[in-house]
Structure 1
Amino acid sequence: MARRLSCPCGEFIEGEDDDDLVEKTQAHLAEKHPGHEYSREQILFLAF
């Protein structure tokens, strides 16, 4: 099941499943928001 997350910066992140979404979100945070790290649980809590 696809999962989605909307970053406050306006970027929309979509993953094929939970693992893919977490990986893509953590990559986005590392690239665009250095110093902001979220755990898997935090990312999935914000996902829809």
Structure 2
Amino acid sequence: MKRRLSCPCGAFIEGEDEDDLVEKTQAHLAEKHPDHQYSRDEILFLAY
């Protein structure tokens, strides 16, 4: 299960599970990178 992601901006995002990671990553994107939108599959592809 993937639970971690490093954003190119330097932010480190960690979730309790994949659903939590996707939710936190989408919230980060909305706040810090509103012009970027990624699907669940794209987020999990980048995660580890």
Percent identity, aligned pairs only, is 83
| TM-score scaled by length of structure 2 | 0.94
CA deviation vs aligned residue, 1:6-47 (integer Å, no higher than 9, x gap): 000000000000000000000000000011000000000000
Provide the aligned length of Structure 1 versus Structure 2.
48
Aligned to 1:46: 46
Instruction: Compare the two structures and name the one with the higher strand fraction.
Output: 1
Amino acid at match of 1:39: S
C-alpha distance in structure 1 between counterparts of 2:36 and 2:22, whole Å: 14
TM-score between the two structures when normalised by the length of structure 1: 0.94
Aligned alpha-carbon RMSD (Å): 1.1
Partners of 1:47 and 1:16 lie apart in 2 by 13
The runs of at least 4 aligned residues of structure 1 exceeding 4 Å deviation read: none
